[in-house]
């Protein structure tokens, strides 16, 4: 069904252009991949509510930042924004780097045997480890324990919830009579219990530390150095309208951060590796930049300053997100009648913003299917010339709050992987682009089969 949805929207745009109205079952829907429409929608304060499809995530994520509406969303966004300040993000770089080193080790067997493997599930486990540590300060050790109950519950809850968005039968009350509903209930119960336990435990620790001396309060982190503050810690210290956040409110935001922060980054990293394998000259240029910035020691930890210097790698990532945006479509709900580009959009309309299709539209990009990182170079960069033509992290007041976090994570892990391995497309894959599956997140329908070769040690 998700694969069919990619083709459905593509056919609509091919036949009718970049603004199309149609009925999706009983729901009047407008699709647009037009930058002027997209700017009008994403900057309209009356169009901040998400479309109906997102409601299928509510049992898991509640009123977290992804799903909350209007006034509640505005209040939550205001208190969460400081958690993504650059000083906070700086401490997460060590987490990205340490887990990337673990991923290098996990993938070592494929470098040794030369076998083709699907990189996507391995990147998913890496991002789960990162997001658990940065969100909650806990380790689920997903890369070494991929069959753990927690990892399976995350996959189950995400898969079933997202499938309901696209499957007309799973949208109906009949879903509650199916085994899928029981699996979803079990998975969400497990995830909520895990987050609740971490919140209660951490709240007690913070209360205890506030009664102790500063020396004790700044306890050593288990990995060395002063203890890092996870996203959860910042929420526990935050107040809204003069009161502390409740455990439920904190759980909603932590679970939302968990959900939004692992699948999206997995998609971005995986498709970037695919493009680097497909274009060896570009991979070599990225590798040269990494060595110029970090030196020849592949084990040297990366810093925020290093990440900021990896400008060509950033261009490669941005060009990947143009062709393979992690979130291929955005949905909005029109709660009251609005006029866009002279057209009346009635209240109750579902609006689909086609980020994926706009990125491949020859009306907006020269040679759109060619991979050209230089599109994002300096002052002539696409995103500076027309910011609403390139919106992989959405735009306007409801843009992705974690986009800098995500970009730093992608740069960290790719810079680590490329210092150890060369990524290669299998011989039979060179001219076959991945078949795409548009769930809420863009995924390869048949995975991303790659091969890796160990890089020879470099000397000064």
Select from 80, 58, 76, 78 the least CA-distant residue to 67. Answer: 58
Q: How many CB atoms lie within 10 A of CB 368?
A: 15
Half-sphere exposure of 184 (CA within 13 A, CB side): 21
Burial 73-86 (b: 16+ CB within 10 A, else e): beebeebbeebbee
Residues 6+ apart with CB under 8 A from 240: 75, 76, 79, 249
For 380, list phi and psi in degrees, rounded to 5: -90, 5
Query: How far out from the chain centre does Cα 291 lie?
Result: 27
Select from 290, 312, 324 the least CA-distant residue to 100. Answer: 290
In this structure, what token pair is assigned to residue 134?
């940065």
452 bridge partner residues: 423
Q: 344 and 337 in contact (C-beta within 8 Å)?
A: yes
- Number of H helices and E strands in the chain, helices first, is 18, 13
Q: 51 and 32 in contact (C-beta within 8 Å)?
A: no
Helices (H), 324-367: 355-358
Q: DSSP 3-state assignment of 436?
A: strand
Q: 416 and 97 in contact (C-beta within 8 Å)?
A: yes
For 172, list phi and psi in degrees, rounded to 5: -85, 165
132 among annotated binding-site residues: no
Q: What single DSSP character describes residue 230?
A: P
d(CA 146, CA 155): 11
Computed from CA positions of residues 391, 396, 402, 404, in that sequence, does the dihedral angle turn out positive or negative?
A: positive
Q: Write the DSSP string, 284-324.
A: HHHHHHHHHHH-S-TTPPP-HHHHHH-HHHHHHHHHHHHHS
Query: How far out from the chain centre does Cα 327 lie?
Result: 8
Burial 266-298 (b: 16+ CB within 10 A, else e): bbbbbbbbbbbbbbeebbebbbebbbebbeeeb
Q: What is the largest CA-CA distance in the chain?
A: 69
Q: Which residues are annotated as a binding site for heme?
A: 400
Q: Which residues are annotated as a binding site?
A: 400
């Amino acid at each position: 069904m998700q694969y069919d949805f990619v083709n459905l929207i593509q056919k609509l745009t091919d036949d009718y252009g970049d603004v199309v109205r149609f009925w999706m079952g009983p729901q009047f829907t407008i699709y647009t991949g037009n930058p002027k429409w997209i700017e009008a929608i994403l900057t309209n304060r009356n169009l901040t509510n998400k479309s109906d499809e997102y409601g299928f995530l509510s049992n898991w994520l509640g009123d977290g930042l992804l799903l909350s509406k209007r006034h509640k969303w505005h209040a939550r966004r205001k208190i969460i924004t400081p958690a993504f300040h650059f000083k906070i993000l700086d401490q997460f770089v060590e987490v990205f780097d340490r887990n990337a080193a673990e991923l290098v080790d996990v993938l070592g067997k494929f470098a040794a045997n030369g076998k083709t493997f699907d990189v996507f599930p391995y990147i998913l486990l890496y991002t789960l480890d990162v997001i658990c540590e940065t969100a909650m300060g806990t380790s689920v050790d997903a890369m070494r324990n991929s069959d753990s109950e927690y990892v399976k519950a995350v996959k189950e809850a995400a898969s079933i919830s997202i499938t309901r968005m696209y499957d007309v039968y799973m949208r109906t009350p009949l879903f509650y009579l199916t085994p899928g509903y029981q699996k979803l209930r079990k998975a969400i119960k497990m995830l909520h219990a895990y987050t609740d336990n971490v919140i209660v435990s951490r709240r007690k620790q913070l209360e205890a530390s506030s009664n102790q001396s500063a020396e004790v309060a700044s306890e050593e982190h288990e990995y060395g150095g002063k203890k890092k503050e996870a996203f959860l810690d910042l929420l526990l210290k935050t107040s809204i309208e003069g009161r502390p956040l409740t455990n439920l409110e904190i759980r909603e935001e932590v679970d939302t951060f968990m959900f939004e922060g692992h699948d999206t980054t997995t998609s971005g990293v995986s498709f970037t590796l695919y493009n680097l394998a497909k274009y060896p000259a570009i991979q070599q240029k990225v590798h040269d930049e990494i060595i110029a910035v970090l030196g020849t020691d592949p084990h040297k930890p990366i810093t925020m300053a290093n990440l900021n210097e990896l400008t060509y790698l950033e261009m490669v990532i941005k060009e990947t997100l143009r062709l393979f945006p992690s979130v291929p479509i955005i949905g909005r709900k029109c709660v009251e009648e609005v006029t866009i580009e002279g057209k009346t959009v009635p209240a109750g309309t579902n609006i689909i913003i086609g980020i994926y299709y706009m990125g491949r539209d020859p009306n907006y990009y020269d040679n759109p299917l060619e991979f050209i990182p230089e599109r994002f170079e300096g002052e002539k960069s696409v995103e500076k010339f027309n910011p609403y033509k390139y919106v992989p992290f959405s735009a306007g007041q409801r843009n992705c709050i974690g986009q800098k976090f995500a970009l730093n994570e992608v740069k960290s892990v790719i810079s680590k992987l490329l210092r150890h391995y060369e990524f290669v497309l299998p011989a039979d894959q060179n001219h076959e682009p991945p078949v795409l599956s548009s769930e809420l997140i863009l995924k390869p329908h048949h995975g991303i089969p790659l091969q890796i070769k160990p890089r020879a040690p470099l000397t000064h």
